Structure 1
Amino acid sequence: MEAAQTLRDKIEATLRTVYDPEIPVNIFELGLVYEIKIGDAGRVNIIMTLTAPGCPVAGDIVMEVDQKVRAIEGVSDVDVHLTFDPPWTKDMMTEEARLELGFM
């Protein structure tokens, strides 16, 4: 189980390098990542959302998540699933992100 935790840490750290172009905070701190599942043989399933359903850069963000997570040692395959249920709200952001954006 130790290896899975280390891989999860790497995935979370990688997701902190992906930014919504309209907001200067990474997608992990914004609360856009709903779930990270690590399956057998390094298969990773990520369920995430966007700040708005009509986000013009949706494809770019999903592609960046896929490419960056796929590049992590120990990851064999990545499936990024986009959902809008539940819809994202500012309440899903970490306290640090809310402070950074002045939402406190």
Structure 2
Amino acid sequence: MDVSKLNEKEKAVYDALAKVIDPELGVSLVDLGLIYEIDVDDQGVCKINWTLTTMGCPIIDVLTGSIYEAAMSIDGIKKCETKLVYYPQWTPDKMSREARMLLGIHL
């Protein structure tokens, strides 16, 4: 995701999502590269496309709820729609350098 193209509200949502930690890996969803798209319209509707590191992840509901709560914590966000997507497929190269180092992944 190109953070430089986000507007002020979208950036605020992004920053809130950066604090959402994957409970299995101990790394934020943003650093894992799981957040693919954030869109906030003029009516305060936030749409977030995100993915998982593996299909069938047992904590989908936990992550969905955490993403929703993070977005709704931003002033001006009136509604949040999360969409779990599988394209493009997630790979470790989507992770931040810090996340790769923390998890011991060398690309």
TM-score (norm 2): 0.87
Q: Which amino acid is the alignment partner of residue 15 of structure 1?
A: L
Instruction: Give the paired residue count.
Output: 101
The alpha-carbon deviation at position 90 of structure 1 amounts to: 0.5
Q: Which amino acid is the alignment partner of residue 30 of structure 2?
A: F
Unaligned runs of 5+ in 1: none
Task: Trace 1:5-84 onto structure 2 (pairs within 5 A).
Answer: 5-84=7-86
Q: Which amino acid is the alignment partner of residue 33 of structure 1?
A: I
The alpha-carbon deviation at position 65 of structure 1 amounts to: 0.6
Query: What is the root-mean-square deviation of aligned Cα atoms in Å?
Result: 1.3
TM-score (norm 1): 0.89
The alpha-carbon deviation at position 11 of structure 1 amounts to: 0.7
Q: Which amino acid is the alignment partner of residue 99 of structure 2?
A: A
The alpha-carbon deviation at position 40 of structure 1 amounts to: 2.1
Alignment partners' CA distance in 2, 1:20 and 1:103: 17
**Deviation >6 Å, runs of 4+:** none
Unaligned runs of 5+ in 2: 1-5
